[in-house]
Amino acid sequence: MTRPDVAARRAADPGHPPVVEFRQVTMTYPDADAPVLRDVSFELGEGELILVVGPTGAGKSTLLSAINGLVPHFTGGRLDGQVIVAGRDTRTHPPRELADVVGYVGQDPAAGFVTEVVEDELAYAMEWLGLPPTVMRRRVEDVLDLLDLARLRGRRLDELSGGEQQRVAIGSVLTAGVRVLVLDEPTSALDPPAAEEVLAVLTRLVHDLGLTVVIAEHRLERVIQYADRILRLPGDGSAVLDEPSAAMAVSPLAPPVVHLARLAGWHPVPLSIREARRYAARLRATLPPNPSRPTAPSRSLGGEPLVAVRDLVARYGTTTALRHVNLRVERGEVVALMGRNGSGKTTLLTHLAGLRPPARGEVIVDGVRPHRLRPVEAVRHVTLVPAEPSDLFVADSVAGELRGLPRGRELLRSLAPEIADTAHPRDLSAGGQLLLALAIMLSYDAPLLLLDEPTRGLDYAAKERLAAILRARAEAGRAVVLATHDVELAAEVATRTVVLADGEVVADGPTAEVVTATPAFAPQVARILHPLRWLTVGEVREALEAG
């Protein structure tokens, strides 16, 4: 629902000039067959939080980049029509002349840092704009208080958690005095508590400062309840701006709460857990406490598991990242590693892949110690898709990356049929890069597949295709271990969930038991139907159809 103050302001003052205006904008990239945006027009007012929704490749990043002038000044291509931001035409004002009115924060905030310390990063944009020292000092102090960063002012940026880095990145553009804040997937790399912290900051900026915030985000379940309006990009070049409930009534891309509402016939469609629970009493009464789920592979005492981690200790210099971790993974399991940023998930994956030797203890995968093998030998036993998939790329085309991997093209077609063989791997979207890397690693057909944050940049349709592939690998007797903050993916595919905290295993058990016992990592359906242990809309649908 739109906040009453926003709706009232739009109705009472229709003549108030918009902060962002697109006037019949068409954007075409060089060598593209068709425009990515076609005849797009809309207006955004002061103090609105706008959520941009659309499938991968629909033009969300292009639209965001057009607001601060990166499109077309740095990307090339042809932009027809006008983009007006705070009264400035982006055709005649390049990004450097818009820096004081619009701030942009990308998917990886750390990649945009130019200093080493929090306070210096907050001041950098103002130094570049040539603001007086007295103004700079006051604004830094204001932002430190506003974003709860005062205790971090002297900390090194590379020592911060993901949520803290995201808040510093937001603060570094706020000190420039911007009126518009644009964010591309601001929660994609964050654990659920950190994501909530960042979203709380953004809503405070909208409510208290009247900032216009534009967010593109695939994980709608995290953001949709905060949106004043939704800008929907169907994928045909058009854009439709509407109230959240109206947009979700027709959008094929929707969070689980909306799909559950459609299934149960709830009207109007709720957008938050709180709203959905008001409807859910009758549904809870018709469902048994637990759905029937496939049992996890048995752990026979005599047989050797596919993965055996015993008393693993991992260190980076003087920092201990893993503390006496024990883990056993059977063939046929899909294991989700969950926990806050910095809890040790990625470190555990790199040790399973053999990229680092244990400081203490042992790691055995498929009967071998992977860190003792050459890479060409290790991939017969275990493959890893890293959080930065581009680390795997060595060729200048998709076809080049898949050369010598007979199943690679077939796998990529099943995951992302829209990716062309001639495309440069590093020109693909974040989701496209991930799916290409996954196709490469799946081609080796190793018994163990490791995935680090495998849904960054993926829309719901791509996530469904990924989930189907992971389930098929488990059914074929392979195993998957994925480190993820995506609780909805874990609910869909994980037979077991392991929670790490400060380098230690604090929970290990069937996914339904672990995530329902930990509210921060519970999927939407579990929170709506609590205390029942239902995790997904699919489970509920099957029960209702059978009942």
Span 247-268, pLDDT tens digits = 998 888 999 999 999 999 998 8
Whether pLDDT at 222 is above 60 = yes
Across the range 15-41, mean pLDDT stands at 91
Domain hosting 456: range is: 307-381+446-546
Last residue of a domain, one of 246, 263, 284: 246
* 411 found inside a domain: no
Lowest mean pLDDT among 51-55, 388-392, 469-473: 388-392
Question: Is the domain of 79 the same as that of 205?
Answer: yes
11 pLDDT exceeds 50? no
Q: Is 75 part of any domain?
A: yes
Residue by residue, DSSP assigns 352-392 as HTTSS--SEEEEEETTB-GGGS-HHHHTTTEEEE-SSGGGG
Would you place residue 298 in the very low, low, confident or very high pLDDT band (cuts 50, 70, 90)? low
pLDDT the model gives residue 8? 46
> Tell me, what's the pLDDT at 477?
94
Does the residue 134 lie in any domain? yes
Q: Has residue 411 got a pLDDT over 80?
A: yes
386 domain residue, yes or no:
no
Q: Is the pLDDT of residue 320 over 90?
A: yes
Is the pLDDT assigned to residue 1 strictly greater than 50?
Answer: no
Strand 88-89 versus strand 78-85 pairing type: antiparallel
SS3 259: helix
More confident residue, 118 or 517: 118
Work out the number of other CB atoms within 10 angstroms of the CB of residue 209: 15
Per-residue confidence (pLDDT) for residue 212, from 0 to 100: 97
For residue 319, CA distances in Å to 64, 188, 354, 503 come to 39, 26, 20, 11
Q: Are residues 60 and 179 in the same domain?
A: yes
Determine the pLDDT at residue 481. Answer: 98
pLDDT of 191 = 86
- Judge whether 137 lies within some domain: yes
Residue, of 399 and 290, whose pLDDT is higher = 399
| pTM of the model as a whole | 0.88
* pLDDT given for residue 154 in this prediction: 93
Percent share of the chain, pLDDT over 90: 68
Instruction: Give Dmax over CA atoms of the chain in angstroms.
Output: 77
User: Residue 295 has what pLDDT?
Assistant: 64
Domain identity same for 343 and 222: no
Q: Kindly report which listed range (287-291, 357-361, 495-499, 504-508) carries the lowest average pLDDT score.
A: 287-291
Bigger pLDDT: 189 vs 22: 22
**Residue 154 placed within a domain:** yes
Give the whole-angstrom CA distance, residue 470 versus residue 431. Answer: 17
Confidence grade of residue 458 (pLDDT, cut at 50, 70, 90): confident
- Token pair for residue 385? 């898709």
pLDDT at 328: 96
* pLDDT score of 78: 93
**Do residues 210 and 318 both lie within one domain?**
no
Q: What's the rounded Cα separation, in Å, for the pair 450 and 397?
A: 24
Average pLDDT of the chain to the nearest whole number: 90
Nearest CA to 314 among 267, 282, 281, 349?
349
Which of 217, 246, 275 is at the close of a domain? 246
Average pLDDT over residues 41-66: 94
Lowest mean pLDDT among 45-49, 80-84, 291-295: 291-295
Q: Is the pLDDT of residue 12 over 70?
A: no
Regarding whether 241 and 116 lie in a shared domain, the answer is yes
Q: Residue 7 pLDDT more than 70? A: no
Residue 325 sits in the same domain as residue 466: yes
Clarify whether residues 72 and 181 are in a common domain. yes
